[in-house]
Structure 1
Amino acid sequence: MAPYRELTEFYDPDLLLPIGGVVYRVKCPTIGEADRLRRLIVDDSVTSDQELEEIIKILGPVRDEMAANGVRDTMALHAGRTALLHFGGTPSLGRANWQLGQLGDLLDMQSILDAAGVNTSPEAAAD
């Protein structure tokens, strides 16, 4: 049997977020960092300040690019939350946040995670 095609020839692991006519590329984290993000997004003890630190970290240099382009703070925060959910949860969670983020205060996120089949138990996060 022939080997599979080289994955890097056709698969882009990064997250592309269009804002104001510019497409921003958020780099896919390493395996270890993605594992940490999986635990983070289900941690109820994360504070607003900690969330901001994580957003700044996940966006990296893209945040500076956004600032230089005049992207509003709330839009950059929305992009960062989307990236955290995309890489720490699933691409579907990231997409839902991107498109429906304004509904976040009205939704029960635990129900959404359950419906998506994401196991949020502490034991699952440790695996």
Structure 2
Amino acid sequence: MATFADLNDFFRDGLDLPIGGKVYRVPPADAATGLFCQKLMTVGINAANGKQIDEAELTDDGEKDLYRRVLGTAFDEMIEDGVSWAKIKHCGITAFLWIAGDEDSAAKYWQADPEAEAPKETARTAGRSTR
């Protein structure tokens, strides 16, 4: 019969995000946040693939505060330290990808040029809401 080592002996809990010489520790997500992120990821993938989505799935109150939710205590620490909103958003999306996906997906996004990833506004989309 197989025996298992204690998970705490080798499992890395949390995510370290370095900004300007300081490392912000994103705590592990609780189950509710993890499930919310997985649901949001599934809805996004379905929408990107042209599948019809139930907009009721997007009305979770937690969506309004996604970055605070996924960054946990690191969010307040970043605010206190005066980290720019653009960098907080980058950290939030990184943490979201880590929670909903895996560390490799998060690392790939973390290394991406935020300017290259941002959708470009065109005259056709200017002023139009995305929701």
Q: Structure 2-normalised TM-score?
A: 0.66
The 4+ residue runs of structure 1 with deviation greater than 6 A are none
Aligned residue pair count = 105
Amino acid across the alignment from 2:95: A
Distance 1:64 1:77, change over 3 A: same
Which of the pair has more CA radius of gyration? Answer: 2
Cα distance in 1 between the residues matched to 2:32 and 2:69: 14
Give the secondary structure class of the aligned counterpart of 1:18: strand
The answer as to 2:80 corresponding to 1:63 is no
Cα distance in 1 between the residues matched to 2:90 and 2:118: 14
Q: Tell me how large the CA RMSD over aligned residues is.
A: 2.6
Distance 1:52 1:20, change over 3 A: farther
Structure 1, unaligned runs of 5 or more = 107-127
Deviation at 1:80, TM superposition (A): 0.6
- Give the corresponding residue for 1:99: 111
Give the secondary structure class of the aligned counterpart of 1:70: coil
Q: Structure 1-normalised TM-score?
A: 0.68
Cα distance in 1 between the residues matched to 2:92 and 2:23: 14
Residue deviations 1:25-66 (CA, integer Å, cap 9, x gap): 11111334312211112434659xx75611111112211111
Does the CA-based 8 Å contact 1:78-1:101 persist in structure 2?
A: no
Amino acid across the alignment from 2:92: G
Deviation at 1:7, TM superposition (A): 1.4
Give the secondary structure class of the aligned counterpart of 1:93: helix
Amino acid across the alignment from 2:101: G
Cα distance in 2 between the residues matched to 1:27 and 1:89: 16
Distance 1:43 1:58, change over 3 A: same
What does residue range 39-78 of structure 1 map to in structure 2 within 5 Å? 39-44=39-44, 53-78=65-90
Deviation at 1:90, TM superposition (A): 2.0
Residue deviations 1:79-104 (CA, integer Å, cap 9, x gap): 01100011112222211111115232
Cα distance in 2 between the residues matched to 1:51 and 1:69: 24
What does residue range 6-25 of structure 1 map to in structure 2 within 5 Å? 6-25=6-25
